[in-house]
Amino acid sequence: MMEGVSFGAGLAGAAVDPLEFLKRPQTILRIVAGVFSIVVFGSIINEGYSNTRGSGVLHCIYNSNEDACNYGIAVGLIAFLACCFFLVVDLYFQQISSVKDRKRVVLFDLGFSGFWSFLWFVAFCFLANQWQRTPKTSKDAQPGADAARAAIAFSFFSIISWVALSVKALQRYRMGTDMSLFATDQFPTDPNTGYPGYPTGSGVESTETYQSPPFSETLDTSPKGYQVPAY
């Protein structure tokens, strides 16, 4: 664990360099994942529906299965919004002073990234399966065939990007916290400053601290005026 690091960030309140932030691997992965998601749901929205059957009703290009198109759009759109959200969180992550709050953010990032990796895997399998079941004559006749293939391909790429984000979140969680970052808030800055009310001493007891008995007179075993009777 690097010194002075708490879940991948330094001391709370430190300034963040925008150029350094953009060069972070995690930032690059989030931007790439957001672009992939735009390609997926944008391709389906723009060219994922057709009316080649001669009717005025648009049908999903993936074997006329509306669930396939809806699922691809939903997963892609939510993934894009999540990338934007986590980019903002990463930007202000160093401003979070509480260790518990940082831990919750990292765990949420880890859980969401892992879950969305699974959803992208489902999307890739679902779209690829429905496209395979689409009749060849329909594939050739539909103008959105290239868009359909692009959505499938970038669904696969999205799996890789979100798995990478899960790994980065796991690394941040394993880094843990260097508690020395927060020690200055709990203890005095001057090491020579004593705690108030605590008695100072050498720790060695001295006999000089004891006082003499209140009565220093010695007792007379044979007081005057009294004689011991002889038997």
pLDDT for 217 beyond 70? no
Asked, for residue 73, whether it belongs to a domain, the answer is yes
DSSP 177: B
Q: What is the mean pLDDT of the chain?
A: 78
Q: Are 99 and 173 in contact (CB under 8 A)?
A: no
The two counts, helices (H) then strands (E), for the chain are 6, 2
Q: Are strands 59-60 and 49-50 parallel, antiparallel or unpaired?
A: antiparallel
Asked, for residue 197, whether it belongs to a domain, the answer is no
Asked, for residue 26, whether it belongs to a domain, the answer is yes
Asked, for residue 188, whether it belongs to a domain, the answer is no
Task: Give the Cα separation of 216 and 143 in Å (integer).
Answer: 118
Q: Are 42 and 34 in contact (CB under 8 A)?
A: no
Lowest mean pLDDT among 33-42, 99-108, 178-187, 192-201: 178-187
pTM comes to 0.69
Question: Residue 23 sits in which domain range?
Answer: 18-173
Q: Give the number of domains in the chain.
A: 1
pLDDT in tens, 34-48: 999 999 999 999 988
pLDDT for 185 beyond 50? no
pLDDT for 61 beyond 50? yes
Task: Give the Cα separation of 94 and 75 in Å (integer).
Answer: 29
Q: Are 87 and 21 in contact (CB under 8 A)?
A: no
Task: Give the Cα separation of 211 and 216 in Å (integer).
Answer: 11
What value does the mean pLDDT take over residues 136-158?
86
